[in-house]
Chains A and B, each alone.
Chain A
């Protein structure tokens, strides 16, 4: 036991003495949380809009005021000709435009029908759709207010409740994913690199030749990184709660339990990777660059899984972080308990056991 602690302590020295390892261990998570929490969002804000007002009457003015007041839009100085409009779009100066034809208000008042044109820069199709929707909503609002005095029989009135995220916080979706991504990358990389480093330096052989059982050698590697990853997890959680105001609505012990499970699966993955290479550089390349892309894509926090073609969806089922993401989302944001996520937990346990089994077996084979 004493020897075991010695090894664990040595591992901690390795980590804390290297500035760059610390950068990855703590700097990376903090950076990701800050970026995903504050900077990255799919919610539209201050989209630059050009208003071509050929009517210049009370209706067009009022609608323009509505748009100016909306946080979704930011009005650029208006332009005169169609050609100028095209140039503005091509130079990337505006994302959309609203065109009021001449006599807009007159048409509305006297013929009860008027037209407007919305032009959207569809090179980003998503924002084009969203902006068109928002603009239409503003215009429809105005239309409804015009008609407020009209009597409308048989009104169906929808009442909408936004579940789990009433303020429509754009980053809520990301955060559980960032947690998964960071834990996966950091834990796997550090574990695999540390084991391979011993191999490269030759000290691994010394350890294996000692009276220390091989299993303990592995444990001596796993325990420090388990502890560090949990520390990391707590750090990210605290940042999310206090800096980003992400709620933890469910049972926090359950969250910890599931996270520990996930961390163990990452450790096994790291162990597995360390078994296939003898060079620290390769271990790092595989853990960092190799894992990063599949994790980002297939966890489902950035791009919805249901949009992907079926073969890719199948692949995503083999990525542990995909299941962990669902678990975290369900516990943290929906406040639900084990009864909802028992299936995902079981799958995660299965994957962890499988990974451990394969990596331990490989390790033993190398010894034989």
Chain B
């Protein structure tokens, strides 16, 4: 135990004296947390609409006014032809076109039905389908109003209507930051823990000081614990600062118990650091360790459900996602912070994370040899 004390003392002294490391551990995560949530937003806000009005009647004027008032669209331009409107989509100045045929008003009354044409930029599929859905619903609304001005309500059959009452649980204001910030918090702890821990041991290998330690009576577990514990502490510290930023900058107050959150964090960090450790036992120099760590951490982050939901993935990808330790923490952090989930709700994830911790660290310990 005393040996461990000396190891820890040395480790902490070295960390705090490393001028290039300190900003990465403390400043970078904070900057990330302040900028990323502002940028990371899948919301579909204002959709740029271009109108090709071949009719120019009072009806179409009213229709256009209604569309403008709906709040979904930003009417960018009115063009005289579809071709010109399409050019605007081509150079990204518009997202969707509405083309109204000539003599629209006259033909609607005379023939009882008229077509209008929508063309949406569907490269961003969600934006395209939401945009056309919104426009279609505004059109339907306008259609009903139009009927009422021309025909007495009793003159057409009563329709059966199903009223839909949507309710949003856990995040009634649909605040996207509530969703992203906890996830980003996990990522920043992951980058610090995974990368830095891996690099640390390899650096000693590179410098030769590891050989010096191998020759002493220091036991394997003491050496590894001496490496893990400081970064574990730093991980918890970073996470706490992150939570404070979430509270005071974004107004996110965890609904669930902090104790449960920290419990999971503790286990998660052990698993993550074990992973970094494992990489370092397979690398001879820092460059190698960085490349490999970067490769895997990229996969972890992309597959974790941070940016795109795991449920949307094909089955094989979901399996891959379930094999990464990050996924579970992202799940749990969102569940605890937003839904107030408790210990019993997350016991499955906790168990799996614990398994990761044991397997990764065990593997690393077996792999690290004092004698070759």
Contact = CB atoms under 8 A, between A and B. Distances in A.
B179 A90 contact: no
Interface in A303-346: 303-304, 306-309, 312, 326, 329-330, 333-334, 336, 340-341
A139 B122 CA distance: 24
B164 A112 contact: no
Nearest to B337: A123
A69 interface: no
A194 to B, nearest CB: 11
A304 B124 contact: yes
Q: Which of A46, A298, A303, A326 has the most CB of B within 10 A?
A: A303
A227 B159 CA distance: 67
B27 interface: no
A136 B172 CA distance: 18
Q: Which of B91, B114, B125 has the most CB of A within 10 A?
A: B125
Interface stretch (B3-11, B257-265, B266-274, B285-293): B285-293
Interface stretch (A1-9, A50-58, A261-269, A284-292): A284-292
Contact of A42 (B42, B114, B286, B314): B42
B106 to A, nearest CB: 12
Given A39-B320, A126-B43, A280-B287, A44 B120 contact: no
A146 B38 contact: no
Contact of B121 (A27, A139, A164): A164
B339 A306 contact: no
Given A21-B291, A126-B176, A147-B159, A159 B38 contact: no
Contacts of A43: 125-126, 312
Contacts of A312: 35, 38-39
A277 to B, nearest CB: 9
B209 interface: no
A125 B38 CA distance: 15
Contacts of B294: 24, 288-289
A160 B115 contact: no
Q: Which of B91, B120, B295, B321 has the most CB of A within 10 A?
A: B91
Contact of B290 (A35, A151, A285, A307): A285
Contacts of B167: 117-120
A112 B199 CA distance: 69
Contact of B162 (A27, A45, A139): A139
A282 B157 CA distance: 75
B64 interface: no
A153 interface: yes
A193 to B, nearest CB: 7
Interface residues of A, number: 107
Contacts of A114: 160-163
Nearest to B177: A125
A123 B302 contact: no
Interface in A73-114: 89-92, 95, 108-109, 112-114
A262 B116 CA distance: 42
B165 A116 contact: yes
A92 B341 CA distance: 9
Contacts, number: 325
A115 interface: yes
Nearest to A110: B160
A302 B307 contact: yes
A236 to B, nearest CB: 15
Given A123-B339, A285-B24, A116 B162 contact: yes
Q: Which of A92, A114, A309, A326 has the most CB of B within 10 A?
A: A92
Interface string B125-167: 1111110110110011011001100110000111111111111
A28 B295 contact: yes
B335 interface: yes
A243 interface: no
A32 B303 CA distance: 11
A210 interface: no
B208 to A, nearest CB: 16
Nearest to A155: B113
A168 interface: yes
B216 interface: no
A109 B160 CA distance: 7
A157 B292 contact: no
Contacts of B150: 153-154
A340 B311 contact: no
Contact of A309 (B20, B38, B171, B292): B38
7 contacts: A20-B291, A92-B331, A114-B163, A117-B164, A123-B179, A136-B166, A155-B143
Query: Can you list the 6 inter-chain pairs with the closest CB atoms, starting with the nearest?
Result: A39-B317, A122-B168, A162-B122, A125-B174, A122-B171, A165-B122
Interface of B: 20, 24, 32, 35-36, 38-43, 45-46, 87, 89-92, 108-109, 112-130, 132-133, 135-136, 139-140, 142-143, 146-147, 150-151, 156-172, 174-176, 178-179, 191, 195, 199, 286-288, 290-292, 294-295, 298-299, 302-303, 307-309, 311-314, 317, 320-321, 331, 334-335, 338-341, 345
Given A116-B164, A125-B176, A156-B143, 15 more contacts: A23-B295, A40-B303, A41-B313, A42-B42, A114-B163, A125-B43, A147-B159, A154-B108, A154-B146, A154-B150, A158-B135, A289-B24, A289-B195, A293-B32, A336-B90
